[in-house]
Each structure stands twice: as structure tokens, then as C-alpha cells.
Amino acid sequence: MDAVKVIEIKKSVYESNDREADRLREELRSKGIFLLNLMSSPGSGKTTTLKATINRMKYTHNIGVMEADIDSDVDAIAIAKETGVKSIQLHTGGMCHLDAGMTRQGLDELIDGKVDFAILENVGNLVCPAEFDTGATKNAMILSVPEGDDKPLKYPLMFSICDVVLINKIDVMPYFDFDLEKCKENIKLRNPQAKVIPICAKTGEGVDEFVKWLEEEIRINKG
């Protein structure tokens, strides 16, 4: 029998994924494709926000949506039915997040030569998706009012990696002890660069500002 060899590796568990994500991001940029990774906890209004956003942008962009869930295809069906854009469902097989490799597989199916604005609706979870770079051009997250203004303190990594934070369900603010200014302060503490946009996906309030932010980022990505 051969002697036992010890091989030193000394590398982060996340390093391979980070490299794959950087490769994917660069490939997308060179093809003029913008990929938005949308994250939040379950029930914060990701699908409703996407419907409102897509319906404002679908006439000027070729939009495609990837819905990532542990199981079911309810979100993909809802998006396709209510917006008419191409929508596919990705099943994570029990996993709590998507990584860059899984995102690439989804994009291979979604992008048919037409789609130039791809949206990934990540698994509803404030912890794991933050650890794995998907290769998205920009990261967005939604925090809804019933979840509380202290969430940026409890889930610092998620807030620190997001380019934009949407504070959703502002129509019910009077019924909850949610302090919008305190919440903005808590976000700035973790991520001074993050743009914060209060919205109500149901009534459409604030959605135009999010669309404006997206349009600008898409323009920058195209160079």
C-alpha cells in the first residue's frame, strides 16, 4: 500500500463558487445581459414585487425569470400567467440557496438569444443565499414591514451584500411598530452604499423608483 500523503489546501470553502460567479458575471456583461438576484425571507412579497416591476418594464426589455424553490412551481406559473414573460422553475433539491453553477444551468435554459434582463428569484431565506455569490450583476433584497426594523442587525451579511433594499408593505406600517428611519439607519450601519426604496408592491407605490434604479443599472452594465 502507498504511504499516506498529506496535501495542504488552505482555501476557503466559498472560493470555487466565488470564482465561478465572477466568470459568469463577466460573461453576462460581455453579452449585454443584466442578471438581478432578488432575495428575501419567505412571504415578504418577492413574487408580487416582481409582477409589478415586470409589468412596467416588459415592453422595453426582453425579460426572463428563474424561480428558485425547494419544491413546487406556483411562482413560475404566477409570473408567466400575470406578466406573460418567460418564466422557468428551478428546484434546488432541498438546498437552501442557489450557487453560481446552478444559476448558470438555469440561465442556459432561460436565455434563448432574446432575454437581456434575467431575474433570479432566490430561495426565501435571509441566511444562506447571502453566502453564495450567484454571479448576478446586482443583488436586491426585500424586507417587509411585518418582519421588523431590526432585521439588518440580525442578518448583517444579507444586508451587507445588497446593492438595493426594498422595504415592502409600507401600507401596513401604521399597524406595526416599524420605524422606517431606524430601519434605514440599521441598513446604513451594515452597508453605507445600499440604496433603500420604500415600496408597496400591492398598490404600486415606490415601484417606479425601483424601476428607475434598474434602468440606470442596466444602462451601466451595457456600457
Chain residues binding other proteins by CB under 8 A are: 1-14, 16-17, 94-97, 99, 125, 127-128, 131-132, 157
Beta carbon nearer to other proteins, 129 or 198: 129
Q: What values do phi and psi take at 68, rounded to 5?
A: -105, 125
Beta carbon nearer to other proteins, 90 or 201: 90
Beta carbon nearer to other proteins, 101 or 148: 101
CB of 216 to other proteins, least distance (A): 32
**Pick from 132, 130, 61: nearest CA to 103:** 132
Strand partners, 38: 121, 140
CB 173 within 8 A of CB 180: yes
CB of 22 to other proteins, least distance (A): 16
* Kind and range of the H or E run holding 27: helix 15-30
Give, in order, the Cα–Cα distances in Å from 211 to each of 68, 108, 128, 206, 218.
22, 26, 27, 9, 10
CB of 151 to other proteins, least distance (A): 16
CB of 4 to other proteins, least distance (A): 5
CB 125 within 8 A of CB 150: no
Beta carbon nearer to other proteins, 9 or 181: 9
CB of 130 to other proteins, least distance (A): 9
Cell numbers that stand for 206 in this block: 415606490
Q: What angle do CA 22, 120, 51 make, to 5 degrees?
A: 150
Beta carbon nearer to other proteins, 8 or 177: 8
